[in-house]
Structure 1
Amino acid sequence: MNDFSENLKTHLSFIARSCELYDQGHKEEALRVAVSLRVMFHDTAHSISLLKHLQRKESIHLISTFASQKSMSAEYGNVHWHTVIPVMLTSRGVQAPTNSWPTRSVLVIDDWWQEQIWLEGAIALSRKDIILSAANQDGGAHVDANPNEKTRKVKRGPDATVRINGKLFEGGMSNHHLPLIRQMAYEVLECKGLYELAKST
């Protein structure tokens, strides 16, 4: 019989180790994180996520530190936001903010997975979109010779002009999905319920 709690513990350990390496400068570790997040949370007609196997997708809650249409409307009134881009540029380059961003909401897993955190005109990307692009097409578990538009977008980065201290920042917005995934990992690793579930027998 499969020990799904032990599998969950393994993937939480994978994520934590990859985050340590990411923070040391190995940004490609975000692709490994994406694979573990896919295993933990993504369900299809042919595969079942660890959390669904454990029958806890409806009871485990995850923090969301990203701005979204819903959280921005709650914070600033019922306004439709055309653009919400999670830019992570600092004077030291691209950095995942981890705990320096406040918790905007606490969501059940499916809502967290489907929350659209990148709105740019007609483009709306959820955590699911970004994770599956990284895991399925950008080298996490598979490399696609013809990646779809979502994958091309997350690799290309926001179509925005950014200045830091008045200086135009060029070339730093590509592969913007990697710090986004690092931030998602922070949100997951902050969930005590997942660790308690991983310890259960």
Structure 2
Amino acid sequence: MAKQKISRDRLIELRDEHLQFLESSSAALDAGFLGEAKRMAVSLRVLFHETAHSHSILAQLGERQRPMVDTSHPYNPNNYASHHGLVAMRLTGGEEARFFAPLDDRSIAPRLTRFSDWWEKDIVIKEGHTGKAYTRRTLVLFAANKDGGAHVDPHLDTSFEGLKDGSGIGWVVTGFSSQANGSFIPDVQSHSIRQIAYEVSETFK
């Protein structure tokens, strides 16, 4: 089958389409459907993930090295507690603790960060008891490639399952309703991906 190089105008159209996908999925997640984080991860992968066999939209546009809006709390290697730099915690009306993406409501001012650091070097989650660290790239690729975004791996990494059910982070709800008391706080990865989508939207505005 004959092939021709994709035009820059078409690449820009695809880029803007995936940015709109992020906006739509963000609205759905904010309304309560956490599964939208997987669809966000697919668009983030299409925009950013670059290998010898996978060519991102932004790399083809020459935009992959642009500085990115960074809203994370920087990782402190001297802090041995679990780190979740993109998200915060709050109590819900039912007296259950939940992670959430704070978007622009942060105690730390957003800043511009070099793309390579933002995507694949900066630690945004680290488990206190295991020391396992996660970057934006590892969170996005797990959701897109392993956990049902674009593919389902029959053998999921137990460490990522720990992020989903909360056992990896290790924060436990105590002193609230009997239903929630003693349970881990789940879904840190979904809300972290939501915050990543916010950073991307702010960058391209």
Fold shared, TM-score > 0.5 on shorter chain: yes
Residues of 2 paired with 1:51 and 1:13: CA distance? Answer: 15
- Corresponding residue pairs, total: 182
Q: What are the superposed Cα offsets for residues 144-179 of structure 1, whole Å, 9 maximum, x if unpaired?
A: 11012442233233112345xx53755462222111
When normalised by structure 2's length, the TM-score is: 0.79
Structure 2 stretches of 5 or more lacking a match?
Answer: 93-97
Residues 1:160 and 2:167 aligned together = no
| Percent of paired sites with the same residue | 32
Residues of 1 paired with 2:181 and 2:48: CA distance? Answer: 35
Shift in CA distance, 149/35, structure 1 to aligned 2, threshold 3 Å: same
Question: Structure 1 counterpart of 2:27, which letter?
Answer: E
Residues of 1 paired with 2:199 and 2:153: CA distance? Answer: 28
Residues 1:98 and 2:103 aligned together = yes
Matches within 5 A, 1:89-128: 89-92=89-92, 93-101=98-106, 102-114=108-120, 115-121=122-128, 122-128=131-137
RMSD: 2.1
When normalised by structure 1's length, the TM-score is: 0.81
Counterpart for residue 66 of structure 1: 72
Counterpart for residue 95 of structure 2: none
Larger strand fraction of residues: 1
Residues of 2 paired with 1:88 and 1:162: CA distance? Answer: 15
Shift in CA distance, 179/140, structure 1 to aligned 2, threshold 3 Å: same
What's the secondary structure of 1:6's corresponding residue? helix
Is this contact kept in 2: 1:84–1:117, CA < 8 A?
no
Is this contact kept in 2: 1:35–1:141, CA < 8 A?
yes
Matches within 5 A, 1:79-98: 80-86=78-84, 88-92=88-92, 93-98=98-103
Residues of 2 paired with 1:184 and 1:25: CA distance? Answer: 17
Q: What are the superposed Cα offsets for residues 42-85 of structure 1, whole Å, 9 maximum, x if unpaired?
A: 11121111111011222x2212111233xx5xxxxxx6333452
Structure label with greater radius of gyration: 2
Q: Select the residue among 13, 29, 32 that pairs with 1:25.
A: 32
Q: Work out which structure has the larger RCO, using CA pairs closer than 8 Å and 6 or more positions apart in sequence.
A: 1
Is this contact kept in 1: 2:88–2:99, CA < 8 A?
yes
